[in-house]
Amino acid sequence: MSNTLGNHVLIQQTTCWSTVKNNQTKTVKDHAHPASITDISGRQKWKSLVTKEFLGSSLNTGGTKLSWQLPRGVYVVPRAVLATDPAFELAGKFNLDGNSQIQSGSNSFLRIVIDDPEISAIEFLVLDESQDIWFKDNGQNFRVLLSGNGVSSSDVSVPEDLVQIQAFLRWERKGRQTYTPDQQKAIPNVDAYSYVFQEEYEAARIELLEEMARGTSLEEVQTKLIEYTDESSKNAKEVLIPGCKIPDDLVQIQAYVRWEKAGKPNYSPDKQLLEFAEARGELQLELDKGTSLDEIRKKIIKGDVHTKVSRQLKAKRYFTPDRIQRKKRDITQFLNKFPSPMLEKSENKVADTLETPSGLELCSKAREEQDDGCILNKKLFRIDDKEILVLITNPLGKRKILVATDLNGPLTLHWGLSKRAGEWMAPPSNILPSGSVLLDMACQTTFTIDPFYGVQAVDIEVDEGDSVGIPFVLVAGDHWIKNNGSDFYIDFTHVIKKIDGDGRGAAKSVLDKIAQMESEAQKSLMHRFNIAADLIEKSKDDGELGLAGILVWMRFMATRQLTWNKNYNVKPREISKAQDRLTGLLQSTYKASPQYREILRMIMSTVGRGGEGDVGQRIRDEILVIQRSSDCKGGMMEEWHQKLHNNTSPDDVVICQALLDYINSDFDISSYWNTLESNGITKERLLSYDRAIHSEPNFRRDQKGNLLRDLGNYMRTLKAVHSGADLESAISTCMGYKSEGQGFMVGVRINPIKGLPSGFPELLQFIFDHVEDKDVEPLLEGLLEARIELRPLLSTSHDRLRDLIFLDIALDSTVRTAIERGYEDLNNATPQKILYFITLVLGNLALSSDDNEDLIYCLKGWNQALDMSTRKDDQWALYAKSCLDRARLALSSKADHYLDILQPSAEYLGSMLGVEQWAVDIFTEEIIRAGSAASLSVLLNRFDPILRKVAHLGSWQVISPVEVAGYVVTVDELVSVQNKSYEQPTILVARRVSGEEEIPGGTVAVLTPDMPDVLSHVSVRARNCKYCLSATMWVSLIPWGPQSHSLLAIGKGRPNFLGNEIKESELQDVKDDGSLPPLHLVKKHFGGTYAISAEDFTSEMVGAKSRNIAYLKGKVPSWVGIPTSVALPFGVFEKVLSNSSNQVVADKLKTLKKKLGEEDFGALNEIRKTVLELVAPPQLVQELKEKMQHSGMSWPGDEGTHRWEQAWMSIKKVWASKWNERAYFSTRKVKLDHEYLCMAVLVQEIISPDYAFVIHTTNPSSGDSSEIYAEVVKGLGETLVGAYPGRALSFVCKKNNLDSPKILGYPSKPIGLFIRQSIIFRSDSNGEDLEGYAGAGLYDSVPMDEEEKVVLDYSTDRLINDASFRKSILSSIARAGGAIEDLYGSPQDIEGVVKDGKIFVVQTRPQKYVLA
């Protein structure tokens, strides 16, 4: 590396230096230690200044980071440059022997770090080592002050972009000096365009430093320079460099091409200028190589790139991705309310709507049962609308063959045996069925009619031997019936896997039919599509599960788990016609059954578009065009041509792409194989085709242009048939196209779809132009807007509905790929950007879902959170966290639904068809991963920690903070182990906790990623019984896995809640606070009356729930309402059971209780059912009527007998809840005699509430008695205390300031329960508040009328939106809690409702086990 300094060439420069403290001077001697100057050699980075015309409104300037470089400034003005750290840049010049200078502040630099604050200057010399010459400053050391002197300041520096602008302005003021060709030749390897500025560069830096030293701020300097730049650029059209003039329009186009290749990122003004400089530099290099401007123009101006550039310049948004203008809409107009039926209902529907089995099906089933299911093979062949069944069984080592058919007329079976496929041998005479005629190489047997099944059949028995199969044909008079021109054949050696299970949860009849037809479907895709079309009608009758069966089958096909082609040649146009038929039927079903559109879209996504006429024939014809025009008639291309002619398939799209990638990679064969293998096509698969592909492509370089053009055109043809969901193909079909390319699409004209929304074609063009952009947000906006615009047409009887559906599927699929591409950009994104991103993805998911009410309301919540964030609302993160939790619940619900309807079908059909087990196991998972639900889940997981940090939420929600130690055991659901009892202290890690479960014996802690309410049953039980209960969204913090049996100590005082593993010897040192004292109940007896009023509520008659509500009456403040109540006291149930009218029920219960005592826990459900058979004694009816009417309550019977029957059934359900699993196992755990537990029934008027609440007057999580904790839900409180997912609104309120509630969390429960004015029957047991048992909440309260489930829209809820209303309601709830606690003098657990702003308390009980 050589550097020029004056007339010297410096092979290497060395600086000898020393530091100087204040008031010291030191001359550097020859023996000083050298330090090398760092040299930025080669080409200096520079930016090209671009005129106003390039950017529209102003000249923008940027930084200095470029990928191409210009020569160092030392070539232009001979200088050696020393620069200190930019924060200490100095403005001093030194002369070197009169004609050379050394100046601080240039880009050749020596970085010296000086830590000593006393050092005020640095002195140095410069050595030219090649000539051993020392340079000095007039005989003295060079000296640079570090602070306090000169124009330099330790805190002054000038950005490089401002230095460049100042240099440009200096150059302009001098008349834009240019250099002659002779001057350029004198300085080799220099780009003339750039070094004109270097003349002024260092002078510009000094000017700016001096100005800032005089007190001008950096901002003022910047403002002034930008103004000067704008003014000076008005008439500056180009940089005048003789011999190097490049038209601006070419620079613009080259810059645009570079930008497109980079993925169309958002460039800042600085970066825009750098891109223009890069582009000009690239074009200059081309000119330097001798390329003419015309050649460059032809090379870079392709397609509509010139139009795109013009459009960007017109919009003044160069290097910025276009954005569509999104319309403001009411998103509830996209709401679908087509809920899929419950699984049980679906199963019943399937059972009810099964068509009558055919005679062949009944015959086959009878033979399979007779031969004990030992099936070797089973095939069903189609002959027009008739079928031939061949069933081979192997009972007791003997092959039995049944050939049966529903063909009419006399038939003869012409058959033989074979040792290999295609061979005919006459069977041994000793195995011939009666009446058979033995021929030379075959045998003929007449079919006999089976009148029971209405079929004709032949039975054959063949001994075990060396024959491997049976070939046959049928003879009907003079007519030979064959299998599409070939012999029928069935293999002996194939063994059908025995099916596990009975297909429960699936449309078994549809799946059985599919399995029967699979051998026929394997012949070709034409056969498979036609069979699928035949099955569509049958599957529709079976509802969602029937269509799920079709989806599973087609998905197995699409993922290459099933054979696409087997010994059968079919023309592409026949495949296309079959596709057209199938997709046409799917389109009709989509139109007629909107509740199944989601699953129909999934089916269509596995099938290509197809089409009548020459759509498929083009595949055959156009490969010949490619071979002819590109001169590639042999080798791999001829093998592919033969495959295409005989059996085209979706693999051909991949093969075509692999060829394009191979050519584009400059014929790198590894690119060809990488593309194939990444799409599941191996060498073995290529060889497995009936027309195998043995060879690799081997093209000549002169073929490249033609092949890229022709294969690119051919890809459209392939996608038109095989890739209905391909975006390019779908857009082209909708927008219309006509003959393009010589020999391609000849005569083809696809008309544009009529009736598209205004501006829709432009919207699709926007999407197509930006589909590969790196910045995916504008693309996502466009995709979502297009789907919204398309939505009304998808709900009509449009004549091109199928094409619109495929377009919508393609748009949806593109959303998912765009999201995945955008993950990286979100790593450093603002929370607001991520929020907006989530709204786009959630909106897309809602558009793809049938029952999307919950998703729509989730989306409204996210939009509200985004608005709060924009307004800087300090609650935005807390509210967004509730939206995130609800969205997770929605995704979980969607995944569960897919699992319910798809996985049973995948397992049943997969086992029958021999699908690989791994493909069956992950079937539903892969379906979910293929949709935008999976993308949304990833986004939510990324956003969760951000929200938690902003909202000041920890990783754990500790519901019951108890310090414990135990062995870790993992379970999927807590409910699955609630009847267990662990012998060792156990920490249960449960994936799912609904809130209704009983905690099993021996458990000391429950950890879960689920979201139980703080006041749910399981939470209350945990605190009451001193179990540790904690939830975390960070599943990674929980020791998952079946092998997680480590011993842990956990608790509130440990880091991150979870402590380290401990040794068994340490376990005994952990205090066990969870032991329960022995419990005793006094059995209650019938008190002589069936019903009592509130004034008669005593401990002998009713439980604490009834007594407490009676005590409150008249004692609470007048603004707190107490509902009117009566009760059926203790002993009434036993009295009713002993009535002679219920003798049969009593006997049945006695038997069932005995079974229960033998630990047959299935008897619990039977007991509950039996209790519901009780008959009400007339005296009970009369007494209850009198008490209710006397108390001012409405008597149900006044509305009709049926209303009393409803009330009576509700009473019995309360009694029956004594035997619910949770309550029963709870009594067993504490060794409480279940027979001693008695149940009174509290009868209350239901106040149809706006909100329901639960109050704990001492904070249950912290034990803080100075604050009240409460939770509020919309509607009835059952969603709060029952097994309803999501969290309630929670808040705390200091007792000394009840008017200032503090929100802890916003609600995420998706469901609210609402009811008409009615009556509720509440359980009230004698174990309600038994010390050590805490029976509260174990038993059921049953309203007389059924609750209505409503999907909640919190964005319209005043409790969320109206801060003053929220404060009023929450403060009133807190004040009610404080008043009741004062009344009892102890912490209380209170339930109540809010109606029209008024507070009603429906029950209260002591708050158990308050933490110290």
Task: Please identify every residue annotated as catalytic.
Answer: 1017
Which amino acid makes up residue 1148?
Answer: K
Distances (CA, A) of 989 to 860, 974, 1214, 1229: 34, 8, 32, 20
* Cβ burial, residue 666 (10 Å; 0-12/13-18/19+): exposed
Contact assessment for residue 1026 and residue 1409, using Cβ atoms and an 8 Å cutoff: yes
Q: Supply the DSSP string of 29-65, one letter for each residue.
A: PTTSPEEEPB---SEEE------HHHHSS------S-
DSSP single-letter state for residue 752: P
What gap in Å lies between CA 1292 and CA 1266, rounded to an integer? 10
Cβ–Cβ under 8 Å, residues 347 and 544: no
Our measurement of the distance from residue 333's CA atom to the centroid of its chain's CA atoms, rounded to an integer in Å, reads 24
Instruction: Report which secondary-structure segment, H or E, holds 1061.
Output: strand 1058-1061
Would you give the distance in Å from CA 1248 to the centre of its chain?
A: 38
Which is nearest to 936 in space by CA: 902, 898, 899, 889? 889
Q: Please work out, in degrees rounded to the nearest 5, the angle formed at the alpha carbon of residue 828 by the alpha carbons of 826 and 831.
A: 75
Q: What token pair was written down for 840?
A: 């786009």
In angstroms, rounded to a whole number, what is the distance separating the alpha carbons of residues 684 and 678? Answer: 14
CA atoms of 232 and 178, how far apart (whole Å)? 18
Buried b (16+ CB within 10 A) or exposed e, 537-560: ebbbbbbbbbbbbbbbbbbbbeee
Q: Chain centroid to CA 945: how far?
A: 17
Q: Which residues contact 82 (CB under 8 A, 6 or more apart)?
A: 15, 37, 102, 103, 104, 106, 108, 109, 110, 124, 142, 144
Please tell me the distance from the alpha carbon of residue 582 to that of residue 532, in angstroms, as a whole number: 7
Sequence-separated (6 or more) residues with CB below 8 Å from residue 142: 82, 94, 102, 123, 124, 125, 126, 136
Task: Report which of 222, 85, 202 is spatially closest to residue 154, judged by C-alpha positions.
Answer: 85
CA separation for the pair 282, 1398 (Å, rounded): 76
Tell me the two tokens of residue 1307.
Answer: 């609600």
Please give, one letter per residue, the 3-state secondary structure of 329-358: CCHHHHCCECCCCCHHHHHHHHHHHCCCCC
Q: Taking the CA atoms of 340, 341, 343 and 348 in sequence, report the sign of the dihedral they define.
A: negative
End-to-end CA distance of the chain: 78
Find where tokens 């926007």 sit: 766
Token pair of 1005 as six digits: 């802690």
What's the burial of 98, exposed, middle or buried (CB within 10 Å: 0-12/13-18/19+)?
Answer: exposed
Q: How far apart are CA 1113 and CA 291, in angstroms?
A: 99
The b-or-e profile of 1223-1248 (16+ CB within 10 A means b, else e) is bbbbbebbebebeebbbbbbbbbbbe
